[in-house]
Amino acid sequence: MTDTRRTEQVHPDFPDLDCLPPSELVRVLAADQQQALDAVQQAAPALSAAVEAALPCLEAGGRLIYAGAGTSGRLGVLDATELTPTFSWPPERAVPLIAGGEKAIRQAVEGAEDDFGAGKRDVLGAGIGPRDVLIGVAASGSTPYVLGALEAGQQAGAVTIAIANNPDAPLLGAARFAVLLDTGPEIISGSTRLKAGTAQKIALNTFSSALMVRLGKVYGNLMVDVRATNHKLQGRAVRLVRHATGAEEPEAKAALEAASGSVKTAIVMLKLGLSAAEAEARLRAADGHARAALGE
């Protein structure tokens, strides 16, 4: 029986891929990734609609829950994990679920992706509810684990989003919002860790970053909720405060120290001449949005 999924088809252009010299091999592998960006740009309206629907859920205290298997599951784990250091998003509000559990992050767990019931159980076990946002990701668009996860999300009344790389995939019909990333056949046939995975990474980055911007985690284009947990990030925090306020380095450092390292608080302090407590109060009244707290 012929597999009609585009991600499973043999790429027609490179039958002698294994004969190419390294310079040409690298060139064609890199060039093929352009289709990942093209696919995400085509999906921009669908991603925008998903952001609009997800935003009020997160404003009401809901969570982002990711479900995937293999490469797609690992990309969900990555996106969820990076929200905390980048935007100080509470880790308990970004829940990655991967077929086969944590072991599958580093090694394949045979058969885990084929378990529809496990996907459903994992989502129910996460306590999903109507304020949550569930993102199911699968290149094939037919992974049973992810289909089970989305069914549980739908039944719980959550906002459900499906991301898949094949037109007419079952996954796209199993969620409230369908995001098709039509990347076509892989240059190494069937290896969806290539441009299908790249497109998923771009789409997840775009989706979660857009949400964080709209939630006030960014002022202008500055990541003002960065968590300065090492020397590099501490230096970045000082530079962000200086850029936003025009303050000299000693003044920026003093404001950050008074603000317990909060870039956003330090900016409000310096721009409005407030104490740390006063700046924090203004930010709370503005739901954490620096521009609103500054009256801009």
Is 80 exceeded by the pLDDT of residue 86? yes
pLDDT at res. 2: 63
> What is the pLDDT confidence band of residue 12, given thresholds at 50, 70 and 90?
confident
pLDDT at res. 130: 97
How many CB atoms neighbour CB 113 within 10 A?
A: 25
Active site residue 113: yes
pLDDT tens string 208-254: 999 999 999 999 999 999 877 788 889 999 999 999 999 999 999 99
Is 80 exceeded by the pLDDT of residue 42? yes
- Annotated catalytic residue: which of 113, 151, 186, 280? 113
pLDDT at res. 229: 79
With CA atoms as reference, report the closest residue to 93 among 201, 211, 173: 211
Supply the angle between the helices 263-272 and 231-245 in degrees, to the nearest 10.
Answer: 30
Angle at 43 between CA 208 and CA 69, to 5 degrees: 60
Q: Where are the beta strands (DSSP E) in 93-196?
A: 94-98, 133-138, 159-164, 177-180
The rounded distance, in Å, linking the Cα atoms of 239 and 245 is 10
> What mean pLDDT is predicted for residues 143-149?
97
- Annotated catalytic residue: which of 8, 82, 251, 278? 82
The rounded distance, in Å, linking the Cα atoms of 141 and 166 is 6
The rounded distance, in Å, linking the Cα atoms of 110 and 99 is 10
Supply the angle between the helices 195-214 and 34-42 in degrees, to the nearest 10.
Answer: 50
pLDDT tens string 153-198: 999 999 999 999 999 999 999 999 999 999 999 999 988 999 999 9
Token couple for 131: 């304020």
Domains along the chain with CATH numbers:
14-214 (3.40.50.10490), 231-293 (1.10.8.1080)
State percent of the chain over pLDDT 70: 99
Name the phi and psi angles at 165, rounded to 5.
-110, 10
User: Three-class SS of residue 190?
Assistant: coil
Higher pLDDT, 15 or 171: 171
Is 90 exceeded by the pLDDT of residue 39? yes
With beta carbons less than 8 A apart as the criterion, state whether 189 and 179 touch.
no
Token couple for 105: 């992050």
pLDDT at res. 285: 96
Burial 226-250 (b: 16+ CB within 10 A, else e): bbbeeeebeebbbebbbebbebeee
pLDDT at res. 1: 58
Q: Provide the mean pLDDT of the chain.
A: 94
pLDDT tens string 269-293: 999 999 999 999 999 999 999 999 9
